[in-house]
Amino acid sequence: MDFAGKTAAITGAGSGIGRALARKLASDGCNLALSDISEEGLAETATLIENQHIRYVTSKLDVSNREAVENWAEATIIEFGGIDLVFNNAGVTVVDNVNSMTYDDFHWVMNINFWGVVHGSKAFLPHLLGRRQGHLINISSLFGLVTVPGQSAYNASKFAVRGFTEALGQEVRGKGVGVSCVHPGGILTDIAKNARFKRSFSGKQTAEEFSNTFDALARTTPEQAAEVILDGVVKNKRRILIGSDARLLDRLQRLMPVSYGVFLNKVFLLTSKKKAKRVV
């Protein structure tokens, strides 16, 4: 796929992978419909692409609001005359254990991470199918492949995105529309800093320590992630793994489908201790 002259719709474009996708696509000559809950983040993204010779529109959007997403999709299609690429990227997390997690926090994660993807997919899908062309890209996670304690809501949402997207891909096969599910590993974004931190699995880790541990494990930049995603779109990959950690743990889960969690817990514990020593 040549992105020049195409149009892409991106949720969560105010930071992280969404912003990196916007910048890369803009440099390739792709027009953009950018949305995010953060108007400040959107404005920062806009300043980074404003010198590119493309058309772009920014919109404040809560992806958990079905009507708002449907209105955004309709307005975007009217504005640009059509959409070629849809990136359902917006995501959040909460750090807590199942027993202590409130339903409000669980709903918050599911409404954005899962229902936001469903809303975006269903809003644009009739248009893509009607044109018999285009590509739908839904962002899951490494934690849509493996689970970790303290991230049950996030795990649930990202496994749900994976199941939904893979089923959708089977349904539209042969109808001209590509569908990809993306599984990023540790990406240096602000998702950990912006998490609702209530309680770590051990009960001993603070919000700052959790964020530091995440940053220590994250090896891939958003820009690198965007490159891999777009390469996967060009190659029409149904599953796109980002980072050596995602590729390694994908293989580990296949080899040790039950006991991989023991290995992961040891890695997280060791990383946390090393980070704590550096701080001291």
Q: Which residues are catalytic?
A: 154
Q: What are phi and psi of 247, to 5 degrees?
A: -65, -40
Using alpha carbons, select from 171, 207, 170 the residue that is nearest to residue 192: 207
